[in-house]
């Protein structure tokens, strides 16, 4: 097989696994792989001077433990008026699996203080129109029949709602139509703290090496018969280049993943493109207001708005401090990473993805217009949106902050030529020697579930052996559909609540 690299540079290492990127996904995968095969030599490469500097940073995401409790876009209403709850159920199950993984980390002293990354904050969905009230009630009636959502409550009673979420009622007009659902045991997660703590633990392991300030520039197959990949890596501090060989590569580079996936040239990578969406939050500067709200309150997206721009008023706990943010306000930027380049979008164009990109672009002109319009909003415009939630919010009490960058997936479609997807997707070579994670949602909350999917796709034979047993030790409900098994659900929830201190 051809080697694209400069022959003057020789490879120095042959590894079992190389993970690209230092976010929550690679931290999770590195930990699980190390558990499965402690003798494997694993290296992790991150281009920034610290871990969790992109989407996994707590200020770059909303920190919601996505479980379908409050996110109305996970239970969409179809044209015939029926509500589909399958996605909410699936995401809730993935979150339960991920919580079990975090419980295992606590049980095994990888993390000593669970509150350093996870806190219980009730999850609410709130709506402000008669039409949306009907939707919310129907959704609650459907969801509460499922054991995963049996604790969900619904109310349109003003007195009760004032007790649940008082801040939303200060200055609200009596005639406003209002309803909400509540799940008390929702979670707020500091994915940055979690990522760093996992890497701190892994740094003590002999067979694991972690590199900061190192950017993976190229990935090429060197010996197809051995499934061996060669990576070209630049030390961004010394400017030195190095080459390493690895039997398995996981591209967990967030917004940088598409670029590297294209570099692998595997047939499975063909036709994929990316659509970047930037984000902004309003952060509350007034401590008295912050203390009046202890909830994650998700609303319903405006007509034509993308699902990731559903407005929410979020209590957060970051570095032990309570804070309040509202957003995200989605916007348009051509960068794929917050610390990336404005050329990212243009450099992602390849011969095989031009058609899907153009066709998805044509089908999504209203979305692009919406994002550009959102980017041009004034502080007053943004505050007006916030006033749907807090009617008497004052301009000077809220400050704008940049959120993380998301790259939505564009893929080929036989009917439309190209479509825009809002989920995540694991792409892997037929022989499992390389895999990449594309997309952004539901994201970090489902990290353990998604990384297990990577392992299942790339190592199906190993999973039939002791690997499968070890995964069951880490995630006791692995292989069980929790929504069909209330007894198991109750057992694993109790265990997670106890270990993660969220009961």
Ligand X SMILES: Cc1cc2nc3c(=O)[nH]c(=O)nc-3n(C[C@H](O)[C@H](O)[C@H](O)COP(=O)(O)OP(=O)(O)OC[C@H]3O[C@@H](n4cnc5c(N)ncnc54)[C@H](O)[C@@H]3O)c2cc1C
Quickly count: other Cβ atoms within 10 Å of residue 354's Cβ: 13
DSSP string covering 281-337: EEEE--HHHHHT---EEE--PPTT--GGG--EEEEEEETTEEEEEEEEEEE--S-SS
- Nearest alpha-carbon partner for 35 in 103, 108, 97: 108
Q: Tell me if 154 contacts ligand X by CB under 6 A.
A: no
Asked if residues 455 and 472 have their Cβ atoms less than 8 Å apart, the reply is no
Which of 64, 181 has the CB closer to ligand X?
Answer: 64
Closest CA to 253 of 435, 448, 403: 435
- Least distance (Å) between residue 248 CB and ligand X: 16
CA 412 to chain centre: 23
Our CB check for ligand X shows the closer of 23 and 114 to be: 23
Least gap, CB of 294 to ligand X (angstroms): 17
Q: Please, which residue, 251 or 390, has the CB nearer to ligand X?
A: 251
Q: How far apart are CA 103 and CA 115, in angstroms?
A: 12
Residue 147 makes CB contacts below 8 A (sequence gap 6+) with 482, 483, 486, 489, 490
Site for ligand X in 235-254 (CB under 6 A): 252-254
Provide Rg for the chain, Cα atoms. 23
Q: Which is nearer to ligand X, 271 or 443 (CB)?
A: 443
Alpha carbons within 13 angstroms on the beta-carbon side of residue 482 total 27
Compose the 392-411 pattern: x for residues touching ligand X by CB under 6 A, - for all others: -----------xx-x-----
Closer by beta carbon to ligand X, 115 or else 335: 335
Q: Which residues contact 189 (CB under 8 A, 6 or more apart)?
A: 63, 64, 65, 117, 118, 444, 445
Residues from 276 through 305 that contact ligand X (CB under 6 A): 279
CB of 449 to ligand X, least distance (A): 11
Q: Is the CB of residue 458 less than 8 Å from the CB of residue 248?
A: yes
Min dist CB 446 to ligand X, Å, is 7
23 vs 418 by CB, closer to ligand X: 23
Closest distance of CB 59 from ligand X, Å: 10
Residues 81-140 contacting ligand X, CB under 6 A:
none
Q: How far is it, in rounded angstroms, from Cα 254 to Cα 273?
A: 14
Q: Which is nearer to ligand X, 232 or 412 (CB)?
A: 232
Map residues 308-347 to x or -, x wherever contact with ligand X holds by CB under 6 A.
--------------------x--------x----------
Question: 17 or 403: whose CB is closer to ligand X?
Answer: 403
Site for ligand X in 19-58 (CB under 6 A): 20-26, 45-48, 53-56
Binding pattern for the stretch 62-81 against ligand X, x by CB under 6 A and - elsewhere = xxx-x---------------
- Chain positions 430 to 449 lying near ligand X, rule: CB under 6 A, are 437, 440, 442-445
Rounded Cα distance between 188 and 90, Å, is 19
Interacting residue ranges for ligand X, rule: CB under 6 A: 20-26, 45-48, 53-56, 60-64, 66, 191, 215-216, 252-254, 256, 260, 279, 328, 337, 403-404, 406, 437, 440, 442-445
């Amino acid at each position: 097989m051809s080697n694209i690299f400069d022959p003057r540079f020789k490879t120095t290492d042959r590894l079992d696994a190389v993970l690209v990127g230092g976010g929550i996904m690679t931290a999770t995968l590195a930990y699980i792989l190390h558990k499965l095969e402690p003798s494997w030599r694993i290296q992790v490469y991150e281009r920034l001077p610290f871990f969790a500097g992109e989407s996994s940073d707590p200020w770059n995401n909303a920190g919601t433990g996505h479980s379908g409790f409050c996110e109305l876009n996970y239970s969409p209403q179809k044209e015939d008026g029926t509500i589909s709850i399958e996605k909410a159920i699936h995401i809730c199950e993935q979150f339960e699996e991920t919580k079990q993984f975090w419980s295992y980390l606590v049980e095994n002293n990888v993390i000593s203080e669970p509150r350093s990354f996870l806190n219980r904050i009730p999850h609410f969905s709130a709506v402000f129109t008669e039409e949306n009230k009907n939707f919310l009630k129907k959704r609650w009636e459907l969801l509460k029949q499922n054991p995963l959502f049996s604790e969900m409550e619904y109310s349109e009673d003003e007195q009760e709602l004032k007790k649940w979420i008082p801040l939303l009622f200060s200055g609200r007009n009596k005639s406003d139509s209002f309803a909400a659902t509540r799940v008390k045991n929702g979670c707020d997660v500091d994915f940055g703290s979690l990522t760093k703590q996992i890497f701190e633990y892994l740094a003590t392991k002999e067979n694991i090496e972690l590199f900061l300030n190192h950017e993976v520039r190229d990935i090429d197959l060197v010996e197809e018969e051995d499934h061996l990949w060669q990576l070209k890596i630049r030390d961004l501090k010394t400017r030195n280049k190095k080459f390493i060989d690895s039997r398995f590569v996981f591209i967990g580079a967030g917004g940088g993943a598409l670029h590297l996936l294209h570099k692998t040239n595997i047939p499975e990578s063909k036709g994929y493109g990316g659509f970047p969406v930037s984000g902004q939050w309003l952060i509350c500067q007034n401590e008295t207001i912050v203390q009046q709200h202890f909830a994650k309150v998700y609303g319903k997206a405006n007509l034509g708005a993308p699902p990731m721009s559903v407005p929410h008023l979020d209590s957060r706990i970051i570095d032990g401090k309570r804070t309040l943010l509202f957003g995200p306000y989605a916007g348009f930027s051509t960068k794929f990473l917050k610390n990336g380049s404005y050329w990212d979008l243009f450099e992602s164009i390849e011969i095989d993805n031009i058609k899907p990109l153009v066709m998805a672009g044509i089908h999504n002109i209203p979305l692009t217009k919406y994002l550009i319009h959102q980017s041009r909003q004034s502080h007053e415009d943004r505050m007006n949106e916030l006033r749907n939630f807090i009617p008497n919010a004052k301009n000077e009490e809220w400050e704008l902050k940049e959120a993380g960058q998301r790259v939505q997936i564009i893929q080929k479609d036989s009917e439309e030529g190209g479509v825009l997807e809002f989920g995540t997707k694991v792409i892997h070579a037929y022989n499992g020697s390389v895999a990449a994670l594309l997309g952004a949602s539901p994201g970090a909350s489902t990290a353990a579930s998604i990384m297990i999917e990577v392992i299942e796709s790339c190592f199906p034979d190993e999973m039939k052996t002791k690997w499968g047993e070890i995964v069951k030790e880490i995630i006791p409900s692995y292989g069980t559909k929790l929504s069909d098994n209330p007894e198991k659900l109750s057992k694993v929830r109790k265990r997670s609540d106890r270990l993660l201190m969220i009961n």
